[in-house]
Amino acid sequence: MSLGMVLALTGAVLSTALAGIGSAWGVGLAGQAAAGVVAEDPDQFAKVLILQLLPGTQGIYGHLVTFITLSQIGILGGTAVSDTHTGLMYLLACLPIALVGLVSAYHQGRTSVASIGIVAKKPEQFGKAMLFPAMVETYAILALLVSILTITNIH
Amino acid sequence: MGDNSYAFAVARIRVREKKLLSDSDIARMAAMKDEAEVLSFLGERGWGDAESAKSAEDMLSAEEEKTWALMKELKIDPAIFEVLEYPKLFHNLKAAIKEVLTDGAHEKIFYEIEGFGREEMMRIIRDKDYRALPEFMRDTAAKAYDVMVNTRDGQRCDTIVDRGCLEAMLEKSRRMKNEMMKSYVTSQVVVSDIKIAVRSAKTGKSYAFLKEALAECDAISAEGLAQAASRGEDALFTYLQESGFSEAADAIRQSPSAFDRWCDDRLIETIRPQRMNSVSVSPVVAFYLARENEIRMARIILTAKANGFGEETIRERVRKMYV
């Protein structure tokens, strides 16, 4: 296997690994808070579950980028990477979602916890509470777009 | 990441905060016609249980137990509450010194504290076995005992023990990693120092007395306070205004109960920001303190109603609530 292929695979692995770690952190943290609310007020289950799931999207984005990369570099399709230069480009293209996914999922988890606190005290404010963690999502989506656009345009 | 491990506990606390008594609940309770009506109102809010519904003291004890049970259930490290128990420990020390060195037994004035209840504390003082006390109490115990033996001045003995307690609380809070507890204890020391200074200024106490009584802390200068209070009330008011405690000076001028209210409200103000905190242990500790505050308020109202005090008298004594 060429060095270029190793670099491209590293990028694909990092996309799922780092964004997944961030999502695991975020969903885990929000899950603790959600469980706390349900322990006292089980009627809020559906609302807090939605807030818990929000930081999970980064893991899905990372997985998507990995899938697209593997489809391009000869693992699931496309042509194998033979030169270091192209491999490095795949690695760099994967980094936006890997890094932004990691950091944004963690912070989205913390924001979800704060919003779960709002639902705990004022369940009728769920709509407003959901907007705060949703704002963090913007940056994960931007990173996803950059990664996908870059990967699909490497020749 | 350590703070994040309290996400479950804080979320549970957030739901429970909805059940805390608010300022308007306290105002309603103050306006009720008698103790039975207040007990019934609290019962409807879930206070007490079937057995304690008709006795004020039983209901309040049941509520205190519920709060402790919740803290245990949430697995909050008991060490964080230790500093809040110091006043009870030092109170027992004070009571034991006086009981050993004066005639008469005062069993009911002791708090029941494991290892430092009436019998144990009396033995320690009688045998001068200060090593049996926690390290932060030893010097204070020896000093207070010697002063009591040599001068028989109970007030001076009290001021030494009270200062020892405040300094021990400050020292303990400095070693804790919890910022809210640090500010809460600092506020307690500030409030206690100002209370001592006000009383001393009113009764014309000397600078030497004040120097011995006031605890040093970062938020207020004990030296400045002692100098001002020893010069009289006007000098103390001026000093408080210049030191950023103009609200305290205004409250002192208004009435003794207004000043007491300022002291208690300041402590509640210290913990109120925790209502917006989501992931550390602080909101849980703040909830515990808020519960203590509302139980104290309920006790004031129930006692006042049982003794036939009017609404206005009660209103003067009620404090700001956490929610």
In the prediction, which pLDDT does B3 show? 66
Contact B278 A29 (CB under 8 A): no
For residue A36, give the nearest of B12, B17, B18 by CB distance: B12
Collapse the DSSP code of B129 into the 3-class scheme (helix H, G, I; strand E, B; otherwise coil) and give the result: coil
| Minimal CA separation from A40 to chain B, in Å | 6
Mutate to test the interface with B, among A52, A113, A115, A124 (most CBs of B within 10 A): A113
Superfamily holding B1-76+281-323: ATP synthase (C/AC39) subunit, domain 3 (1.10.132.50)
Q: Percent of chain A beyond pLDDT 90?
A: 95
Cβ contacts (< 8 Å) between A114 and chain B: which residues? 278
**Mutation target among B3, B8, B20, B276 for the A interface, most CBs of A within 10 A:** B8
- What pLDDT, on a 0 to 100 scale, did the predictor assign at position B48? 86
Exposure class string for B33-60: b at 16+ Cβ within 10 A, else e:
eebeebbebbbeeebbeeebeeebeebb
Distance, CA of B278 to CA of A109 (rounded, Å)? 11
pLDDT over 60 at A88, yes or no: yes
Q: Please indicate whether, in this complex, the C-beta atoms of B14 and A117 are within 8 angstroms of each other.
A: yes
Min CA distance, A23 vs chain B (Å)? 15
Domain that holds residue A15: 3-152
Residues B30, B301 contacting (CB under 8 angstroms): yes
Question: How many Cβ pairs closer than 8 A exist between chain A and B?
Answer: 60
Q: Which residues of A touch B279 (CB under 8 A)?
A: 29, 110, 113
Q: At what angle do helices A126-152 and A101-121 cross, to 10 degrees?
A: 170
* Separation between Cα atoms, residue B144 and residue B92, nearest integer Å: 13
Mean pLDDT of A116-144: 96
Alpha-carbon torsion, ordered A58, A63, A67, A69, to 10 deg: 60
Please check whether residue A49 touches B, CB under 8 A.
Answer: no
Closest C-alpha among B175, B90, B75 to residue B140: B90
Report the pLDDT value the prediction gives residue B1, as an integer from 0 to 100. 41
Taking 70 as the pLDDT cut, the residues of chain B under it are 1-4, 107
pLDDT at B31: 92
- B305 three-class SS: helix
B285-309: pLDDT as tens digits = 999 999 999 999 999 999 999 998 8
Q: Where are the domains of chain B?
A: 1-76+281-323, 78-176, 178-273
Instruction: For residues B145 and B130, give the distance between their C-alpha atoms in angstroms, rounded to a whole number.
Output: 11
What is the domain-level CATH number for residue A110? 1.20.120.610
Q: Which residue has the tokens 């506020």?
A: B187
- Interaxial angle between packed helices B56-73 and B35-44, expressed in degrees from 0 to 180 and rounded to the nearest 10: 30
Could you please report the per-residue DSSP string of B169-195? HHHHHHHSS-HHHHHHHHHHHHHHHHH
Point out the residue among A39, A110, A113 whose CB comes nearest to the CB of B12.
A39
Tokens of B25: 């609940």
Note the residue count of chain A. Answer: 155
Q: How many domains does chain A have?
A: 1
